[in-house]
Structure 1
Amino acid sequence: MRVLLVRPPGGGAVIEVRELYELEDLYEVYRLIDAIWHPDPGAEPVQVELLRALSHAGNYVAGAYQDGRLVGMSIAFLAAPPGVSLHSHMTGARAGRGIGMALKLHQRRWALDRGLSRITWTYDPLVSRNAHFNLVKLGARPVEYLASFYGAMDDSINSGDETDRVLAAWPLADPRVVAAAAGRAVQAGVPAGAVAALSDHDGRPVPGTTNAPALLVAVPQDIEGLRRRDPEAARAWRVALRDVLGGLLDEGARVTGFHRRSCYVVEREPIERGFNHAKGSS
């Protein structure tokens, strides 16, 4: 798919998402990445030359535009197993509603057009808004916990914290994902008898029990603000989530949703259940 037009919820200018090939466009992507991440000189996450090579080799480099202005970008590359997966390496957007969803819808259609069935990406599991977007609005699911995945990073988003990530998988033809792509967000119910494996008490993590079939793993409301206000508390959350959520995923438990923008729903046994739809996608 070359171009996708999306009208954001609540009105506003149409978002146009398209593949990018020309050097002028790739330099614009590079400048947008700098504006979003503010990396230190010499520590830029991608260079224009790499964007050019990825695009020319048939990988995914796309930009989102409103009123002719670049407002979002996404970079992905073909991944193992061949012919099955696309790995989304970077996606970023300026403030505005619907840009991230428009980029993911375009990326999904691009992958399906090439016979791919899955897209993966990593995200910081402590950032609740990203967890909500990935799990609820897109219907993706965490499949692996990756401790300090990128090592030390000095940009404005990651500086001062370890780069723990979870690998999210997005099976493109799964009914949950099809519903989410159609604007029906995936609402996760809490199984009966679920217990707290990690709770938030006055801004601090409090571990509970992990010996139950269904568990709730809390994250702070605003980890970025907490990093600025109380770095010690932010560090405590990082270690606690690594121990609890990371430990559960290592043991084979499944994350089945993200409840009320505050906690992961984790189940130890694969339970087949339906899902509910909520209107509104971005």
Structure 2
Amino acid sequence: MAVVRELHEIAEFERVYALFEDIWHFGPGDPPITMEMMVALAHAGGYVAGAFEGDRLVGGSVGFLAAGGALHSHVTGTAAGRGIGLELKLHQRRWALERELGRITWTYDPLVRRNAHFNLAKLGARPQEYLPCFYGVMGDAINQGDESDRLLAVWSLTAPHVAALARREPVAAQVPPDAVIALADEGGRPAPGSPDADTVLVAVPEDIEGLRGSDPGTAKAWRHAVRDVLGGLMAEGRRVTGFSGKSFYVVEKV
């Protein structure tokens, strides 16, 4: 298990920046955070933390205090597939609760299945707002020129389902038997269905990052389909209540 701790030294911030660069391969002048900003945030009481396996840095997270008693988690990056992201998030939660903050917020790409599953099913965060092309067109190696649609996730730290998940207790998304599919994945392409039900399901592609490189046209079709369907449903006031089967957003009428 990785050990997560706050960071305060310039040499540590340089290691976090190098880790982020190794993950995203940013374009010239296009990093989401600079080493100088990490120095300022840490000094001003913001959140800068690293996850370590022995002496090796395997994850980093940077956040700042936001209006309404919240921590906004701006950027988090980890070595893949080793549970480091969960350890970082649980450390964030403890840090925020110690400072009497009730929420942590962050944005993520709604098309990335593993992130949606992690954020909604493993952490219990809930999307609050659909943000089309929030950061503009992104040129790093992962996004490859895709439009940066984002969901604003809100993690209510003391909600019963969040507390249960933090204790590693499973909490399954509840999908009623009469739920209908508002957006399906048919042969790897988006296929709009019917939004006319109390609960609808919105699919996302199996591997949007692979599609950006192998089939940019289909990747773009997914981007606009999810924006239209999921973004449209949320704009109508419907609420995303979970992520089911590692494939579908669960969206309910309020």
- With the shorter chain as reference, the TM-score category is over 0.9
Q: CA deviation at 1:27?
A: 0.7
Match of 1:251 in 2: 236
Q: Does 1:164 align with 2:164?
A: no
SS of 2:210 mapped into structure 1: helix
Query: Distance between the aligned counterparts of 2:206 and 2:236, measured in 1?
Result: 26
Q: CA deviation at 1:154?
A: 1.0
Q: TM-score with structure 1 length normalisation?
A: 0.88
Is the CA contact (8 Å cut-off) linking 2:144 and 2:213 kept in structure 1?
no
Q: CA deviation at 1:227?
A: 1.4
Q: Does 1:187 align with 2:172?
A: yes
Q: TM-score with structure 2 length normalisation?
A: 0.98
Query: Distance between the aligned counterparts of 1:26 and 1:141, measured in 2?
Result: 30
Is the CA contact (8 Å cut-off) linking 1:135 and 1:186 kept in structure 2?
no
SS of 2:40 mapped into structure 1: helix
Match of 1:26 in 2: 13
Q: CA deviation at 1:41?
A: 2.2
Deviation beyond 2 Å, 4+ runs, structure 1: none
Is the CA contact (8 Å cut-off) linking 2:133 and 2:147 kept in structure 1?
yes
Q: CA deviation at 1:240?
A: 0.4
Q: CA deviation at 1:44?
A: 1.8
Match of 1:274 in 2: none
Q: CA deviation at 1:96?
A: 3.8
Query: Distance between the aligned counterparts of 1:156 and 1:179, measured in 2?
Result: 36
Match of 2:30 in 1: 43
**What is the count of residue pairs matched by the alignment?**
254
Query: Distance between the aligned counterparts of 1:147 and 1:140, measured in 2?
Result: 20
Query: Distance between the aligned counterparts of 2:17 and 2:35, measured in 1?
Result: 6
Q: Does 1:89 align with 2:64?
A: no
* Cα displacement string for residues 185-204 of structure 1 (whole angstroms, at most 9, x for unaligned residues): 33102113100100011111
Match of 1:7 in 2: none
Q: CA deviation at 1:32?
A: 0.7
**2:60 is matched with which residue: 69, 73, 80?**
73
Query: Distance between the aligned counterparts of 1:185 and 1:133, measured in 2?
Result: 13
Mind listing any 5+ residue stretches in structure 2 that lack a counterpart? none
* Cα displacement string for residues 97-125 of structure 1 (whole angstroms, at most 9, x for unaligned residues): 11000000000000000000000000000
Q: Does 1:61 align with 2:48?
A: yes
Is the CA contact (8 Å cut-off) linking 2:127 and 2:151 kept in structure 1?
yes
Mind listing any 5+ residue stretches in structure 1 that lack a counterpart? 1-13, 270-282
CA RMSD of aligned residues (A): 0.9
**1:136 is matched with which residue: 121, 126, 130?**
121
Identity of aligned residues (%): 61
SS of 1:185 mapped into structure 2: coil
* Cα displacement string for residues 70-90 of structure 1 (whole angstroms, at most 9, x for unaligned residues): 000000100012xx1110000
